[in-house]
Structure 1
Amino acid sequence: MYSSNETAVGVPDATGAYVSLSQVSKTYASSRGPIPALVDINLDIRPHEFISVVGPSGCGKSTLLKLVAGLEGVSAGSVRVAGRQLDGPPDRLGAVFQRDVLLDWRTILDNVLLSIEFTRKPTPAERDRAMALLKRFGLAGFEDRFPFELSGGMRQRASICRALLADPELLLMDEPFGALDAMTRDDLNVELAQIWQDTRKTLLFITHSIVEAVFLSDRVVMMSKAPGKIVDTITIDLPRPRRLAVRDSAEFAAYVQRIRHHFAELGILKE
């Protein structure tokens, strides 16, 4: 069910990218004048690639994700997904946010099925798939519970199940583990790394955590203070599948230190 061989892939553009941002800028209007959020963003994400974006608060990371999701339009430049210029949310999109956005009056299973119900009635096979996802994420036996009966980590697991149910080609995650305790966050990092290993979704992940970005990603995109610009992109050459123990390795520490040092040079972090 979760084999990467069964995952359909959209048509990349001429560069081989599944997601392509070219000379993208985003400026918001305000009563005190324009507020630039992003400037000259160029980023290509290949099919099946796991990309994390790290940077200081307010640098436009979430704005970048909204542009790729088609939830907002660019002020300049272009965003293409599967070879098509965006004029709204792309097909086969899944999204997970820091807040789980579960509906309190629906059971956990019904919340997961909501991603299908937006367009049609779920089939029995899709209900079975929803149950399988809940089991995989440790929520078997909780499908008839309501969100207020679950912990924050369990609610976020349900949110990820909802995003995966429709088998998206592109998965966007905006600081999904930012509000969780350290142990739960580690656990979900491992589970996400494994689900990506199995399904090979094209994945854009927003985080404040350098360690989390290095652990999960194929490449880490570093952003400057606002207005956000891409200041470097680091390829993470660590073997997969990854376990938490890799964080104790010299190679892992070197990647983290490289990113920290670059941010320190930019005046974003103190060493």
Structure 2
Amino acid sequence: MNATVRPVPYVAIANAGKVYPSSHGAVTALSDINLDIRPGEFISIVGPSGCGKSTLMKCVAGLETITGGTISVAGQPLSGPPDGMGVVFQRDVLLDWRTILDNVLLQAEFMGRPRAQYRDRAMQLLDRFGLGGFEKRHPWELSGGMRQRASICRALLCDPDLLLMDEPFGALDAMTRDDLNVELSRIWQGTNKTVLFITHSISEAVFLADRVVMMSRSPGRIVDVIDIDLPRPRSLSIRETPAFGAYTQCIRHHFAELGILQE
């Protein structure tokens, strides 16, 4: 009988740690992180403030260097930001002196690619995210939600294989956040990208993910990984189902046992 062949991880994190020096002694931000992310998988990471979620994402992005263990992307050990990566930060980091279209095209400029080659795609992304007609506006003329939509367009411009998102919707109002959750889920299903999504929201983590990674602080470590077996495509109404509630309750209960949440 042939054994089941498991896909090679697109992101492989093995025994990874991160220690920061300080005047009061070393601070361990991450300890013994082990996680394999399959190609095309949507992973949500949820945990309390200070647990190292953002630090882990920066390490996967090649923006921070781990002090122990290994991280590889697409089979290659990290030695800096990997090829085929897009990043969306909690703040939109748009340049106020550039138009929205020019901000989106900035991704192509960073990668040394001709702007003209990506203009049509930029316009298509802006239309898809409800920003059609705003391409000549400047960031200071847009709401926070519209600015974050533009930052997502920028990250998607060059069609990355790996999309890293660090609490991208955390500062948005509830209705805008819900809308972007649904749109992100649709885009992911249509493109098969590998996504690592950082959030404080248990509900958001469950709604978006194939698996939810739970992290605890002091030092930052993975305490559990929950498989989310909910049908796709997912509409917001799935949050009212018993199955969805069972997942969120399970995660909350686990955090409560760790003393992170009260039940």
Q: Under TM normalisation by the shorter chain, which class is it? A: over 0.9
TM-score, normalised by the number of residues in structure 1: 0.94
CA deviations on 1:212-256 (whole Å, 9 max, x unpaired) are 000000000000122111000000000000000000000000000
**Runs of 4+ more than 2 Å apart:** 119-125
* CA shift for structure 1 position 15: 6.4
Establish whether residue 126 from structure 1 lines up as the match of residue 118 from structure 2.
yes
Instruction: Work out which of the residue numbers 21, 30, 53 in structure 1 matches 2:22.
Output: 30
Query: How many residues are matched?
Result: 258
1:102 matched residue in structure 2: 94
> For the residues of structure 2 that align with 1:260 and 1:123, how far apart are their CA atoms?
46
Amino acid paired to 2:204: E
1:90 matched residue in structure 2: 82
Contact 2:13 2:36 in 1 (8 A): yes
Q: How does 1:17-96 map to 2 (within 5 A)?
A: 17-96=9-88
2:237 matched residue in structure 1: 245
> For the residues of structure 2 that align with 1:270 and 1:104, how far apart are their CA atoms?
42
Structure 1, unpaired ranges of 5+: 1-13
> For the residues of structure 2 that align with 1:137 and 1:236, how far apart are their CA atoms?
26
> For the residues of structure 1 that align with 2:90 and 2:150, how far apart are their CA atoms?
13
TM-score, normalised by the number of residues in structure 2: 0.96
Instruction: Work out which of the residue numbers 206, 211, 234 in structure 1 matches 2:203.
Output: 211
Amino acid paired to 1:114: L
Q: How does 1:102-251 map to 2 (within 5 A)?
A: 102-251=94-243
> For the residues of structure 1 that align with 2:54 and 2:196, how far apart are their CA atoms?
11
> For the residues of structure 2 that align with 1:118 and 1:65, how far apart are their CA atoms?
20
Amino acid paired to 1:268: I
> For the residues of structure 1 that align with 2:122 and 2:37, how far apart are their CA atoms?
28
Instruction: Work out which of the residue numbers 8, 26, 31 in structure 2 matches 1:16.
Output: 8
Taking only the aligned residue pairs, the percentage that are identical comes to 71
Amino acid paired to 2:50: G
Contact 2:167 2:199 in 1 (8 A): yes
CA deviations on 1:147-168 (whole Å, 9 max, x unpaired) are 0000000000000000000110
Instruction: Work out which of the residue numbers 249, 257, 260 in structure 2 matches 1:265.
Output: 257
Q: CA RMSD in A?
A: 1.0
> For the residues of structure 1 that align with 2:113 and 2:45, how far apart are their CA atoms?
35
CA deviations on 1:103-131 (whole Å, 9 max, x unpaired) are 00000000000000113353534100000
Contact 2:43 2:210 in 1 (8 A): yes
* CA shift for structure 1 position 16: 1.1
* CA shift for structure 1 position 200: 1.2
Contact 1:59 1:225 in 2 (8 A): yes
Structure 2, unpaired ranges of 5+: 1-5
> For the residues of structure 1 that align with 2:240 and 2:88, how far apart are their CA atoms?
28
